[in-house]
Amino acid sequence: MPAIRARRLFDGRELLGERVVHVEDGRIAAVADRGVADLDLGDVTLLPGLIDCHVHLVFDAGVDPVAGLAGATDEELLDRMRDAAAATLAAGVTTVRDLGDRNFLALRLARKLSVTEGPEILAAGPPITTTKGHCWFLGGEADGVDGVRAAVRERARRGTHVVKMMVTGGEMTPGTHSHLRQYGLAELRAAVEEAHAHGLPIAAHAHAGAGIADALAAGFDTIEHCSFLTEDSAEPDPAIIARLAASDVIVSVTAGMVPSDQPPPPGIARRIPGILQSLRALYAAGVPFVIGSDAGIGPIKPHGVLPHGPAMLVGLGYAPLDTLRAVTSQAARACRVADRKGSIMAGFDADLLAVEGDPLADVTALLRPVAVFRMGRRVR
């Protein structure tokens, strides 16, 4: 039985000392504090493979990913998505939640990829949006209570792992506005009810404070971005944040970008101080959070960018331990795979990442992967 030794082990919750992890048939068979190892990785920390709660494999991380999509056939997109999946896995991200594709391509990819070719993909299919609403070009337009119910049922029938709904507008789609709502509460409630009736979690894309409040009232399972954007800035609303903290919802904060000397788009640039204030306020209130990179949506967000996320949040005052939980055990909970992913425990999938040094002392250690295992197979 292959056994891997590491100087430190982060089991998804706590940092432990030296451990030997025994792997059998793709799963973790045992975790021992001593014993013989077939592979000694030396001065590394072994972690559960990282989980990115928000990616778009279909976007090419170019300057205009929407145009890149428009000109491509589904087969061409699938080829690109294969590369995106490979880059993601090489970075140590062994599970992704794909929150928006075209024609359910991420679901098709999930069924095609072998375990060594990419992360496990949990796919939403095209996000449900209003006619000409945010990301309408992905094909998920649905209006009215009956329309959104039918859209959720279609996703359940196709076998998606999650439903994604655009509660507010977004920056990527001209004619929509991040600081405004797209749906009424009746449609949101109908979508949540229909998703839950089919056993599916449902994620809300919500930037505006009013949209965040609606998503919370409607019973969404995760709220993506949760940035409290206004027309010109972002203003965290303490009353809504207190309600978030007291609820079961998990906020998926958007973090992780590669360093760039390109200025952000003006719509974002003027709002950055407010967005950072929102991130600090959510953390200060103890709102449970995971990290979604939104990989694919632009040059600063190439596929596999998630390991940059914890460092950004630590820079804002988040405790390193909380950010590590957010990309492992807490992420697994948000993605409904906490019974097999996000922890290093007997019986769990042997999705593992070894990084140089100690990520609690220096969270940028996540950017220095030494080894990556997917279902027990070494892929890096």
Cα–Cα distance, 49 to 96 (Å, whole number): 10
- Tokens standing for 60? 């090419």
Q: At its nearest, how many Å lie between Zn ion and the CB of residue 326? A: 17
Q: At its nearest, how many Å lie between Zn ion and the CB of residue 254? A: 8
By rule CB under 5 A, what count of residues binds Zn ion? 1
H helix intervals, the chain: 65-70, 74-90, 105-112, 144-158, 185-197, 209-218, 238-246, 266-269, 272-284, 308-315, 320-326, 329-334
Binding status of residue 351 toward Zn ion by CB under 5 A: no
Q: At its nearest, how many Å lie between Zn ion and the CB of residue 98? A: 9
Which residue type is seen at 80?
A: R
Q: Are strands 44-48 and 8-10 parallel, antiparallel or unpaired?
A: parallel
Which residue type is seen at 78?
A: L
Residue closer to Zn ion (CB basis): 92 or 100: 100
- Which one of 18-26, 193-201, 207-215, 288-296 is the stretch in contact with Zn ion (CB under 5 A)? 288-296
Residue closer to Zn ion (CB basis): 48 or 65: 65
Tell which residue, 334, 319, 311, 234, has the closest CA to residue 283. Answer: 319
Tell which residue, 31, 24, 27, has the closest CA to residue 5. Answer: 31
**DSSP-assigned states of every residue in 53-90:** EEE-TTS--SS-HHHHHHT--HHHHHHHHHHHHHHHHH
Cα–Cα distance, 201 to 1 (Å, whole number): 36
- Which one of 88-96, 143-151, 289-297, 354-362 is the stretch in contact with Zn ion (CB under 5 A)? 289-297
Closest residue to Zn ion in the complex (CB): 294
- Which one of 4-12, 59-67, 128-136, 293-301 is the stretch in contact with Zn ion (CB under 5 A)? 293-301
Binding status of residue 120 toward Zn ion by CB under 5 A: no
- Which one of 132-140, 243-251, 286-294, 365-373 is the stretch in contact with Zn ion (CB under 5 A)? 286-294
Q: At its nearest, how many Å lie between Zn ion and the CB of residue 113? A: 21
Is there a contact between 69 and 77 (Cβ–Cβ < 8 Å)? yes
Residue closer to Zn ion (CB basis): 294 or 349: 294
Q: At its nearest, how many Å lie between Zn ion and the CB of residue 100? A: 6
Residue closer to Zn ion (CB basis): 194 or 294: 294
- Tokens standing for 148? 């959104």
Residue closer to Zn ion (CB basis): 191 or 203: 203
Q: At its nearest, how many Å lie between Zn ion and the CB of residue 178? A: 12
Which residues between 39 and 78 bind Zn ion (CB under 5 A)?
A: none
Residue 369 Rama label (left phi>0; alpha psi -120 to 50; beta): beta
Residue 175, helix vs strand vs coil: coil
Residue 69 Rama label (left phi>0; alpha psi -120 to 50; beta): alpha
Q: At its nearest, how many Å lie between Zn ion and the CB of residue 224? A: 7
- Which one of 239-247, 292-300, 301-309, 323-331 is the stretch in contact with Zn ion (CB under 5 A)? 292-300
Q: At its nearest, how many Å lie between Zn ion and the CB of residue 225? A: 8
Cα–Cα distance, 233 to 269 (Å, whole number): 9
- Which one of 34-42, 242-250, 287-295, 371-379 is the stretch in contact with Zn ion (CB under 5 A)? 287-295
- Which one of 82-90, 110-118, 290-298, 317-325 is the stretch in contact with Zn ion (CB under 5 A)? 290-298
Binding status of residue 294 toward Zn ion by CB under 5 A: yes
Q: At its nearest, how many Å lie between Zn ion and the CB of residue 227? A: 12
Binding status of residue 171 toward Zn ion by CB under 5 A: no
Question: Within 13 Å and on the Cβ side, how many CA atoms surround 124?
Answer: 31
Residue closer to Zn ion (CB basis): 214 or 294: 294
Residue 143 DSSP symbol: -
Binding site residues, Zn ion, CB under 5 A? 294
